[in-house]
Protein backbone atom coordinates (compact mmCIF):
# COMPACT_ATOMS: atom_id res chain seq x y z
CA UNK A 1 0.00 0.00 0.00
CA UNK A 2 2.92 2.18 0.38
CA UNK A 3 3.64 2.00 -3.31
CA UNK A 4 0.03 2.73 -4.10
CA UNK A 5 0.12 5.81 -1.82
CA UNK A 6 3.35 6.98 -3.41
CA UNK A 7 1.79 6.72 -6.86
CA UNK A 8 -1.30 8.62 -5.72
CA UNK A 9 0.81 11.32 -4.09
CA UNK A 10 3.03 11.54 -7.17
CA UNK A 11 0.02 11.81 -9.48
CA UNK A 12 -1.58 14.41 -7.21
CA UNK A 13 1.69 16.34 -7.10
CA UNK A 14 2.05 16.20 -10.88
CA UNK A 15 -1.58 17.32 -11.35
CA UNK A 16 -1.04 20.08 -8.78
CA UNK A 17 2.14 21.24 -10.57
CA UNK A 18 0.36 21.07 -13.93
CA UNK A 19 -2.47 23.24 -12.58
CA UNK A 20 0.02 25.69 -11.04
CA UNK A 21 1.92 25.85 -14.33
CA UNK A 22 -1.32 26.38 -16.23
CA UNK A 23 -2.38 29.16 -13.88
CA UNK A 24 0.95 30.93 -13.56
CA UNK A 25 2.62 30.22 -16.92
CA UNK A 26 0.12 29.35 -19.62
CA UNK A 27 -2.64 31.73 -18.56
CA UNK A 28 -0.41 34.88 -18.59
CA UNK A 29 1.03 33.80 -21.91
CA UNK A 30 -2.46 33.33 -23.38
CA UNK A 31 -3.70 36.63 -21.97
CA UNK A 32 -0.59 38.33 -23.36
CA UNK A 33 -1.29 36.80 -26.77
CA UNK A 34 -4.90 37.96 -26.54
CA UNK A 35 -3.85 41.52 -25.59
CA UNK A 36 -1.26 41.57 -28.36
CA UNK A 37 -3.78 40.38 -30.94
CA UNK A 38 -6.28 43.05 -29.83
CA UNK A 39 -3.55 45.69 -30.07
CA UNK A 40 -2.60 44.39 -33.52
CA UNK A 41 -6.27 44.57 -34.56
CA UNK A 42 -6.50 48.19 -33.34
CA UNK A 43 -3.29 49.11 -35.16
CA UNK A 44 -4.56 47.45 -38.34
CA UNK A 45 -7.83 49.43 -38.10
CA UNK A 46 -5.88 52.65 -37.49
CA UNK A 47 -3.68 51.81 -40.45
CA UNK A 48 -6.73 51.36 -42.68
CA UNK A 49 -8.15 54.67 -41.43
CA UNK A 50 -4.87 56.46 -42.08
CA UNK A 51 -4.65 54.93 -45.56
CA UNK A 52 -8.21 56.04 -46.22
CA UNK A 53 -7.43 59.57 -45.03
CA UNK A 54 -4.30 59.68 -47.18
CA UNK A 55 -6.31 58.54 -50.18
CA UNK A 56 -8.97 61.18 -49.46
CA UNK A 57 -6.28 63.83 -49.09
CA UNK A 58 -4.71 62.84 -52.41
CA UNK A 59 -8.15 62.99 -54.05
CA UNK A 60 -8.71 66.42 -52.50
CA UNK A 61 -5.34 67.66 -53.77
CA UNK A 62 -6.20 66.45 -57.26
CA UNK A 63 -9.59 68.17 -57.13
CA UNK A 64 -8.09 71.33 -55.62
CA UNK A 65 -5.43 71.52 -58.32
CA UNK A 66 -8.18 71.21 -60.92
CA UNK A 67 -10.21 73.97 -59.27
CA UNK A 68 -7.33 76.30 -58.41
CA UNK A 69 -7.94 78.60 -61.36
CA UNK A 70 -11.64 78.69 -60.62
CA UNK A 71 -10.97 79.51 -56.95
CA UNK A 72 -8.65 82.36 -57.95
CA UNK A 73 -11.39 83.66 -60.25
CA UNK A 74 -13.87 83.53 -57.36
CA UNK A 75 -11.40 85.33 -55.11
CA UNK A 76 -11.23 88.09 -57.72
CA UNK A 77 -14.96 88.72 -57.32
CA UNK A 78 -14.39 90.19 -53.86
CA UNK A 79 -12.98 93.63 -53.14
CA UNK A 80 -10.07 93.99 -50.75
CA UNK A 81 -11.69 95.75 -47.78
CA UNK A 82 -8.37 97.21 -46.59
CA UNK A 83 -7.38 98.70 -49.95
CA UNK A 84 -10.44 99.08 -52.21
CA UNK A 85 -8.51 101.27 -54.68
CA UNK A 86 -8.73 98.63 -57.40
CA UNK A 87 -12.53 98.71 -57.21
CA UNK A 88 -12.57 102.51 -57.18
CA UNK A 89 -10.39 102.49 -60.31
CA UNK A 90 -12.84 100.00 -61.83
CA UNK A 91 -15.73 102.42 -61.16
CA UNK A 92 -13.81 105.37 -62.56
CA UNK A 93 -12.82 103.45 -65.70
CA UNK A 94 -16.39 102.26 -66.32
CA UNK A 95 -17.65 105.82 -65.84
CA UNK A 96 -15.05 107.10 -68.30
CA UNK A 97 -16.03 104.39 -70.81
CA UNK A 98 -19.67 105.44 -70.38
CA UNK A 99 -18.93 109.19 -70.72
CA UNK A 100 -20.12 109.98 -67.21
CA UNK A 101 -18.72 112.22 -64.51
CA UNK A 102 -18.78 110.55 -61.12
CA UNK A 103 -17.88 111.40 -57.56
CA UNK A 104 -17.34 108.61 -55.07
CA UNK A 105 -18.08 110.00 -51.65
CA UNK A 106 -18.10 107.22 -49.07
CA UNK A 107 -16.75 103.85 -48.23
CA UNK A 108 -18.42 102.03 -45.36
CA UNK A 109 -17.58 98.48 -44.32
CA UNK A 110 -20.60 96.61 -43.05
CA UNK A 111 -21.77 93.17 -42.17
CA UNK A 112 -25.40 92.21 -42.25
CA UNK A 113 -27.11 89.15 -40.79
CA UNK A 114 -28.70 88.30 -44.12
CA UNK A 115 -25.35 88.52 -45.95
CA UNK A 116 -22.68 85.95 -45.22
CA UNK A 117 -19.71 88.10 -46.25
CA UNK A 118 -18.85 91.63 -45.19
CA UNK A 119 -19.41 94.28 -47.80
CA UNK A 120 -18.46 97.83 -48.66
CA UNK A 121 -20.92 100.53 -49.64
CA UNK A 122 -19.85 103.34 -51.98
CA UNK A 123 -22.04 106.41 -52.50
CA UNK A 124 -21.77 107.62 -56.10
CA UNK A 125 -23.04 110.82 -57.75
CA UNK A 126 -23.08 110.72 -61.54
CA UNK A 127 -23.79 113.27 -64.29
CA UNK A 128 -24.30 112.57 -67.96
CA UNK A 129 -26.85 111.34 -70.45
CA UNK A 130 -29.50 108.90 -69.31
CA UNK A 131 -28.41 106.29 -71.86
CA UNK A 132 -24.80 106.51 -70.66
CA UNK A 133 -26.00 106.29 -67.07
CA UNK A 134 -27.85 103.04 -67.85
CA UNK A 135 -24.76 101.66 -69.60
CA UNK A 136 -22.69 102.51 -66.52
CA UNK A 137 -25.13 100.70 -64.20
CA UNK A 138 -25.13 97.70 -66.51
CA UNK A 139 -21.31 97.61 -66.50
CA UNK A 140 -21.20 97.75 -62.69
CA UNK A 141 -23.75 95.00 -62.16
CA UNK A 142 -22.24 92.75 -64.83
CA UNK A 143 -18.61 93.58 -64.04
CA UNK A 144 -15.95 91.43 -62.46
CA UNK A 145 -17.07 92.08 -58.87
CA UNK A 146 -20.02 90.94 -56.78
CA UNK A 147 -21.74 94.32 -56.78
CA UNK A 148 -25.30 95.48 -56.37
CA UNK A 149 -26.68 98.95 -57.12
CA UNK A 150 -29.02 100.26 -54.43
CA UNK A 151 -30.95 103.42 -53.50
CA UNK A 152 -31.09 104.93 -56.98
CA UNK A 153 -32.21 108.55 -57.31
CA UNK A 154 -32.26 110.09 -60.80
CA UNK A 155 -33.03 113.75 -61.54
CA UNK A 156 -33.29 115.36 -64.94
CA UNK A 157 -30.75 118.15 -65.15
CA UNK A 158 -31.02 119.21 -68.77
CA UNK A 159 -32.35 118.22 -72.17
CA UNK A 160 -30.68 114.80 -72.33
CA UNK A 161 -28.68 114.85 -69.10
CA UNK A 162 -29.44 113.39 -65.69
CA UNK A 163 -27.95 113.77 -62.28
CA UNK A 164 -28.08 110.54 -60.31
CA UNK A 165 -27.05 109.36 -56.91
CA UNK A 166 -26.93 105.76 -55.84
CA UNK A 167 -25.00 103.41 -53.66
CA UNK A 168 -23.02 100.38 -54.75
CA UNK A 169 -22.82 97.45 -52.37
CA UNK A 170 -19.83 95.25 -53.14
CA UNK A 171 -18.78 92.16 -51.21
CA UNK A 172 -15.35 92.24 -49.62
CA UNK A 173 -12.74 89.76 -48.46
* pLDDT tens sequence across 64-74: 888 778 877 77
pTM assigned to the model: 0.59
pLDDT category of residue 107 using cuts at 50, 70 and 90: low
Closest CA to 173 of 85, 81, 70, 68: 81
The pLDDT-based confidence of 113 (bands split at 50, 70, 90) is: low
pLDDT at 111: 61
Mean pLDDT of the chain: 84
The domain limits of the chain are: 1-75, 85-171
- Would you say residue 115 has pLDDT above 80? no
Asked if residue 111 lies in contact with residue 157, where contact means CB atoms within 8 angstroms, the answer is: no
pLDDT at 112 over 70: no
Over residues 106-112, mean pLDDT: 64
Give the pLDDT confidence of 142-170 residue by residue, as tens digits: 888 888 888 888 888 778 788 888 888 88
Each residue's pLDDT tens digit, 125-141:
999 988 888 898 889 88
Asked if residue 21 has pLDDT above 70, the reply is: yes
DSSP sequence for 58-125: HHHHHHHHHHHHHHHHHHTTSB-SS-THHHHHHHHHHHHHTT-EEEEEEEEEE--TT-SS-EEEEEEE
Domain 85-171 has CATH 3.30.70.60: yes
Amino acid sequence: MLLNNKIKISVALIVFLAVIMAVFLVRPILSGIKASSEELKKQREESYMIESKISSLEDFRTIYNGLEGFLEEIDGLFVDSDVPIVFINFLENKAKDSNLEIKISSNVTKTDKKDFWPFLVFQINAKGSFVNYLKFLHKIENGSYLAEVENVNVLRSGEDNVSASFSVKVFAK
